[in-house]
Amino acid sequence: MAADELLIDAHTHIEPQYAEMALRVMDRSGVACSVNLGWEDAYGEKLLKMLSVFSRWPNRFAQLCNIDWRAVDRPDFGSRAADALEAAVEAGAKGLKIFKNLGLAVRLKDGELLRVDDRRLDPVFERAGRLGVTVLIHTADPCWFWRPIGPDNFWSGVLEGQYARWSYYRTGMPCREELLGERDNLLARHPGTRFVSPHLASLADDPLTFAETLEAHPNLYADISARLPTMVRTPQRKEIWREILIRFSDRILFGTDLIFIDPDVATGIQSQSFQRPGDLDLQGLSIEQSYEKTSVDYTAAHVKFLGSAELQPEAPFRRQKGSFALQGLGLPKNALEKILYHTPKRVYGIEN
């Protein structure tokens, strides 16, 4: 990739011990900078360690911080979390990442789930707005996670084994519409704060609602990570999404959701692809070489999907079992450059 074709990956999870591996993947993929979201624990001493390690490579990593939920029942939780955010930004963090556990797992001492739009979080979002930093908030999941597992479930190749916990079907968890409604309420309540909703705002199966949500909330952006196969399940959906990405190219960010943590690297296959050993022929490569190769291939498939109209007959994306073909969008150059580089650069204040 030429120097003027570098891209920014706005959605990755990289533990410090894998920084050099991630850099090798980035260099082979043309990635100028990776936005690193942490793994729910990028706060306090852990955050400072991450910032220290990644600072060895200036402008190659943009680290976000996370919220420490352990004191959520304290009356001053919101103000303390806001102060922690400001301290993290002063230390070098580029923004805040809130995982989907808000609304689905973070509980108060009485056992109640903390709602996405709970008022005690207002000081955090207000502070982010004053600081001018972005809040990346993952709310809910694809609609398939609330549906029965079976051959008609598009995510049936994922919602099994260790990921069976992602199935919320008849579990008593909040419904998807409730969670997304709370998120949208939050966006409206904090118009001066810039939010990014990853995975196409959890609306990859509903492009019209996605477009309407961006229209309703000018402070909302979205990344494309981990949702490509859903976007092109039919030719009709492909055309709708192509038009939407062109129209909102200054609000949409390139992202892969690449993961570099111990349990995943040990598999030898970039875990975000959800591929299995039987899907690939990686003979002769070490575990780390294999993980790097599959990570490069995964990134390349994203870029090709956006920039080319070609079919990738065996793209590295498993959702339904045995379903790997991926039809490209073939975006025009202007929209492509915004999504791959200019929009994430602006949203996260990246200096590359």
Q: Pairing between strand 326-327 and 311-312?
A: antiparallel
Q: What sections of 99-227 are H helices per DSSP?
A: 122-131, 176-189, 198-201, 207-216
Which residues neighbour 253 within 8 Å (Cβ) at sequence distance 6 or greater?
A: 8, 10, 11, 196, 221, 222, 223, 224, 339, 343, 344, 347
Whole-Å CA distances, 55 to 19, 27, 208: 11, 17, 41
Average pLDDT (46-63) is 97
**3 state DSSP class of 79:** helix
As a whole-number percent, the residues of the chain with pLDDT over 70 amount to 98
Supply φ then ψ for residue 11, to 5 degrees: -155, 95
Q: For residue range 121-147, what is the model confidence (pLDDT) as tens digits?
A: 999 999 999 999 999 999 999 999 999
Q: For residue range 282-332, what is the model confidence (pLDDT) as tens digits?
A: 878 999 999 999 999 999 999 999 999 999 998 998 888 777 789 999 999
Other beta carbons within 10 Å of 65: 27
Which residues neighbour 208 within 8 Å (Cβ) at sequence distance 6 or greater?
A: 240
Other beta carbons within 10 Å of 183: 25
**What's the whole-model pTM score?**
0.95
**3 state DSSP class of 179:** helix
How is 205-220 classified by DSSP, letter by letter?
Answer: T-HHHHHHHHHH-TTE
The pLDDT score that the predictor gives to residue 26 is 98
Structural domains of the chain, ranges and CATH numbers in brackets: 3-348 (3.20.20.140)
Average pLDDT (95-110) is 97
Residue 1 has pLDDT above 70, yes or no: no
The pLDDT score that the predictor gives to residue 4 is 52
Please work out, in degrees rounded to the nearest 5, the angle formed at the alpha carbon of residue 164 by the alpha carbons of 161 and 167.
165
CA 339 to mean position of chain CA atoms = 14
Average pLDDT (43-51) is 97
Q: Pairing between strand 220-223 and 195-197?
A: parallel
